[in-house]
Amino acid sequence: MTRTPPSIDPALLHAGAERVLDAVGRAGIELIRFLWVDHSGIARGKAVARDYLGERMTSGIGVAKCRQAADLLDAVQPLPGFGAVGEARLLPDPDTFVALPHAPGSAAMLCDLVEADGRPWGACPREFLKRAVAEAAELGFEVVAAFEPEFTLCRGRPGADGLTLFDESLCFDNAGFDLANDFAVDLVRALTGQGIGVELYHPEFGAGQHEMTCRYQPALRAADHHVWQRQLTRAAAMRHGCWATFAPAPGPGLRGNGNHVHLSLWREGRNAFADADDGCGLSPLAYRFIGGLLAHAAALSGLTCASVNSYRRLRPGMWSGAHACYGLDNREACIRIPSTLRGRENDSVNIEFKGCDATANPYLALGALIFAGLDGVRRDLHPGAPATQDPNRMSEDERRRAGIGRLPASLGEAVAALERDELLMDRLGALRHQPYLAIKRADIRSFERETEDFEFHVHATRY
């Protein structure tokens, strides 16, 4: 029986929607998922059948507003405006369309959360990053970024009694490449097949740990690509009978997975962070941006290391960036200045924010980093001298004289610092920061009542 799709007003279909409809028809797609990333960093969504995709590209799909007040255990926190009454709409961005290689007949797009009349909803994380990008643009800058996620590969889904690591190869061990080759090649093909450029891959420091880095992009696209990377990585692992977890600490005694953020500001096609005459290769603008990041570092942790589990990793001696300082190739500093690449000296100048992991909502994390850095630019904040040695080898007095502090040691400390930060609270707005703070405090209470094994299991399976 031939389907008769509902009639669609052509005037409502912009060019992006038409491209999506054409791709869906050519690929034989039956279901198209409308996805968003919630305040816990979890990708959620609804799907529309292909016959009704055209009209839903314009109207969106309804979702209860309370979903943005759900904690990691899926309990909705009691907050005004996030209860049984009220609906937002999932409005897809056609430029994020992906034909899911692991799910034949299905595709997906990433969405903004909007009001029923199409206006941006104040609890939308993706809109937060858009506002940060727009603020940079007002100053004449484009933000370029890349996420650098690590993940632990397991043999099967972790159970309540723990996980079984895929391999125990050494860091950068060629045997690790061979053991995971089929999975890694499958993943590269899945990513590149969707227009996501893969640049680097290697077995990482910890047993079962791997890292695949995608090419830098304009900030919003970088965050979108990170969402797809996480989804496609887990799907590729499941196709091979494995499980990939991005949890900061998926099990006891493991090294821990970070999700470092690289970023730089560009103006008129040139890297505004680069200065070949500087000892670190940085321009005065870059130093002021770093000054802003350090001024807000404690509060940023509440958004970039966003789970109870994060603070098993964010500790001195873990190369996680637990010290509030910056330095050239200093992996204990929360801000590392990577040495430049030969032949691409100017273009490769960037700053790496190490105090981030995959429990963060990437739109909130990257947006907050941009807002904090731009605050340093506006206020002409200088970060002081770079840390030229491992802060762990300095005495407490030496660190104090050098102005090197410590990032929060728990989610509770980080959330308290975030709440005190006037700039970030203002930029988040009440409809973001109220549910966000409530969710994180609910998580703290929940996991305080549970065993460590429960915490490891939830994070290993959620992320």
Residue range 113-132, pLDDT digits in tens? 999 999 999 999 999 999 99
pLDDT score at 272: 97
C-alpha span between 314 and 334 (Å, rounded): 10
pLDDT score at 255: 82
pLDDT along the chain (463 residues), means of 10: 40 71 92 97 97 93 96 96 93 95 96 94 97 97 97 94 92 93 96 94 92 96 97 97 97 92 97 95 97 98 98 92 94 94 90 97 98 98 94 92 94 98 97 97 97 97 97
Strand 333-337, strand 323-328: pairing: parallel
pLDDT score at 9: 41
Full 3-state SS string of the chain? CCCCCCCCCHHHCCHHHHHHHHHHHHHCCCEEEEEEECCCCCEEEEEEEHHHHHHHHHHCEEEEHHHHHECCCCCECCCCCCCCCCEEEEEECHHHCEECCCCCCEEEEEEEEECCCCCECCCCHHHHHHHHHHHHHHCCCEEEEEEEEEEEEECCCCECCECCECCCCCCCCHHHHHHCHHHHHHHHHHHHCCCCCEEEEEECCCCCEEEEEECCEEHHHHHHHHHHHHHHHHHHHHHCCCEEECCCCCCCCCCCCCEEEEEEEEECCEECCECCCCCCCECHHHHHHHHHHHHCHHHHHHHHCCCHHHHHCCCCCCCCCCEEEEEECCCCEEEEECCCCCCCCCCCCCEEECCCCCCCCHHHHHHHHHHHHHHHHHHCCCCCCCCCCCHHHCCHHHHHHCCCEECCCCHHHHHHHHHHCHHHHHHHCHHHHHHHHHHHHHHHHHHHCCCHHHHHHHHHHHC
pLDDT score at 249: 96
Residue with tokens 């990691």: 72
- pTM for the model: 0.94
Enter the tokens of residue 80: 């005004």
C-alpha span between 158 and 146 (Å, rounded): 29
pLDDT score at 16: 83
Q: Closest by alpha carbon to 261, among 287, 284, 296, 293?
A: 293
C-alpha span between 462 and 366 (Å, rounded): 21
Strand 333-337, strand 351-353: pairing: antiparallel
For the CA atoms of 80, 82, 86, 92, what is the dihedral angle to 10 degrees? 140
C-alpha span between 442 and 72 (Å, rounded): 9
Residue 404 Cα to chain centre, angstroms: 26
Strand 259-267, strand 61-64: pairing: unpaired
For CA atoms 373, 375, 377, 383, the dihedral sign is negative
What's the Rg (C-alpha) of the chain?
22
